[in-house]
Chain A
Amino acid sequence: MSGVQTPPTIREWFATDTPRSRFQARSIAFWNAWQTLSSNWLAMIGLGIIVLLVLMAVFAPWIATHPPNAQNLPGRLNPPGWEGHLLGTDELGRDVFSRIVYGARVTLYIVALVAVTAPVFGLIVGTVAGTLGGWTDRILMRITDIFLAFPRLILAMAFVAALGPGIFNAVLAIALTAWPAYARVARAETLTVRGSDYIAAARLQGAGTFRIITGHVMPMCLSSVIVRVTLDMAGIILTAAGLGFLGLGAQPPQAEWGAMISTGRQYLLSHWWVATIPGIAILTVSLGFNLLGDALRDVLDPRAATK
């Protein structure tokens, strides 16, 4: 049209084929990924569940109808709907609904802590091994293989048994058993970019190994690792709940879903809601992560899609 430069509308800014800045290019890529993702209604359900979990954890005091640890022995083991207890009461007369709401905090704490430790460690090991190659690679990957071959729950159990039960130790144990998968993913990704021209160009410009790894290799591995983390979250939640169920995770009276199932177990046949309802919460959250993870993989990492 005419030569008059009008500032592009937001829609045009996102739709252009010729981005003017790195920021714009990234925004467009992000926008396109979001478009694909948001057209997948299963992924949106998954995302919705996770958002709900976060909201529940943040606003727990306002959502919960009762204090989570307030005991009321005369009103113990009452069925859902009894006197304002939405999901009934447990063996100490505590409100099951409120404990589920507060339990979201524990679950989120575990998920967040594992998500910032294991993948970072795995990413460092994988990219360093992949970039340096040679003996460093061989030794690091051998160690990774050893850890990868371990049964996760059993090892976590042994770790927790040694360190003492508690949420933090449970997280530590899970992170110790979770990092090798990320190291493998990151290394595989590193090997595909290691020989590319842009790395050679950076090296010619005088970039050191550290700069190459952190500035040029790691960003390329991020999307695969993120997909993997999302897919793993369900497994991590289940492992954490399993440790809680065995009494090795959160300690009483803290409201943790796995531990709640464990205490409800003795009343299972007569008072089903105490043990079954926390399980539904665990199922819902890990289903959310699985749905989102599946869809993210299809969007961010089309090669690995199992379609």
Chain B
Amino acid sequence: MTPADIEDPRGSGRARFGSSGLPHVVKRVGGFAFSLVVTLFGLLLVTFLIARVVPLDPVLAVVGDRATQAQYEAAREAMGLDRPLAVQFVDYVGDVVTGDLGHSNLTSRPVVEDIRRTFPATLELATIATIIGVMLGIPAGVIGAVNQGRWPDHVIRVVGLLGYSMPVFWLGLVALLIFYGQLGWTAGPGRLDVTEQFIYELEVTRVTGSVIIDSALSDAWDVFRNALAHVVLPAGVLGYFSMAYISRMTRSFMLEQLGQEYVIAARVKGVPEWRVVWVHALGNAMVPLITVIALSYAGLLEGSVLTETVFAWPGLGLYITQALFAADFNAVLGGTLVIGAMFIVMNLLSDILYTLVDPRAR
């Protein structure tokens, strides 16, 4: 996640669509659907091309290097690799659309099944991190804007700037070193300790795939506490990055709002200052902020790859990394595809949300 990429959250979605012709809503929904399809298609094309440029020969992997030329050709034909690239691509798209991402050599299961198993862990982590980022980032941004140029503003900006400049995996390691290694306040890497993992496997019914929610639903409070102790560090680390971004954007939106005339009007009317700031101005700043939050959420899904590696968090990011080293290409591309698709959908969703909540953008 690089903040500069998403500097202007009110990016492209608005300007692309004209104002004449069809009724606005229809045109807009159509435009979003078109964007989504084209972008997803582009993603498929890129992953397909990546699979094509792999220096490994997939046929050789199947038949072994002692196969005769005839055996090799037969396997090549059986795998469909002798057909034109375009035909193979159409086939690939068909497979993906019908939910077939191939077989993973690493886990010897279908990739789709692996993703279904690991994705909830990633989602859980990113969701908690976003909640932390929002809870801390918005107040920090508001306080910074209200105290523009004074020390609270400087402190908040420096904290945010550090967040922008820190490698996430390094902060994770430092957090482990301090809070787990030295102070012993939190649990270590992983999602659960061994005992709790055992109880979880036996007694907790899987409803959502989130250990925290499922264990609470099953009244397994030991598991619940243990899961919380494990999630605190990785979610805190990711949440810090989310906070850095959200507080910076909140600050700039709030400054924009506080300079508006309706703020002066409210003050003149005798509205208490806290109400002017937290209700009137923040209420309007929330409009672009929703986009920012959606983008930060998408960024965290991606940022989780490194965090999961550091914290041995059994999510999609760790799955992709492990598959990478096992040269398990179906798994890598499947995971890339899922995270990429989530990313694209969140991006578009933020565009849609923006048009929904801001009447001026309609």
Contact = CB atoms under 8 A, between A and B. Distances in A.
A184 B332 CA distance: 29
Interface in B121-177: 161-162, 164-171, 173-174, 176-177
Interface in B313-344: 320-321, 324-325, 329, 332-333, 335-336, 339-340, 343-344
Contacts of B329: 161
Nearest to B43: A150
A154 B339 contact: yes
A279 B170 contact: yes
A281 to B, nearest CB: 10
Contacts of A166: none
Given A146-B42, A235-B4, A276-B173, A246 B306 contact: yes
Interface in B29-80: 35, 38-39, 42-43, 46-47, 50-51, 53-55
Given A152-B2, A163-B53, A290-B165, A158 B173 contact: no
A158 B332 contact: yes
Interface string B167-195: 11111011011000100000000000000
B255 to A, nearest CB: 7
A3 interface: no
A55 interface: no
B12 A279 contact: no
Residue in A146, A239, A287 with the greatest tally of chain B CB atoms within 10 Å:
A146
A232 B4 contact: yes
Contact of B5 (A235, A247, A279, A304): A235
B350 to A, nearest CB: 11
B110 interface: no
A158 B169 contact: no
Contact of B39 (A145, A236, A242, A307): A145
B53 A283 contact: no
Contact of B165 (A181, A269, A287): A287
A149 interface: yes
Interface in A200-254: 228, 231-232, 234-236, 238-239, 241-242, 245-248
A275 interface: yes
Contacts of A153: 1, 302-303, 305-306
A164 B177 contact: no
A151 B181 contact: no
A158 B330 CA distance: 11
Interface string A157-185: 11101111000000000000000010010
Given A158-B50, A306-B252, A146 B38 contact: yes
B50 A162 contact: yes
Interface size class of B (residues with CB under 8 A): 35 or more
Interface size class of A (residues with CB under 8 A): 35 or more
Nearest to B329: A161
A245 B42 contact: no
B354 to A, nearest CB: 15
A73 to B, nearest CB: 24
B3 interface: yes
Contacts of B2: 152, 232, 234-236, 238-239
Contacts of B176: 268-269
Nearest to A231: B4
Given A157-B320, A162-B53, A269-B181, A279 B164 contact: no
Contact of B173 (A142, A157, A241, A275): A275
Given A272-B177, A306-B252, A145 B35 contact: yes
Given A157-B305, A181-B4, 11 more contacts: A151-B340, A152-B2, A157-B321, A158-B336, A161-B324, A236-B2, A265-B310, A268-B173, A282-B166, A282-B167, A306-B248
12 contacts: A148-B12, A149-B343, A152-B1, A154-B305, A162-B55, A181-B5, A238-B2, A242-B168, A258-B167, A261-B170, A279-B166, A279-B167
Interface of A: 142-143, 145-155, 157-159, 161-164, 181, 184, 228, 231-232, 234-236, 238-239, 241-242, 245-248, 258, 261, 265, 268-269, 272, 275-276, 278-279, 282-283, 286-287, 290-291, 293, 304, 306-307
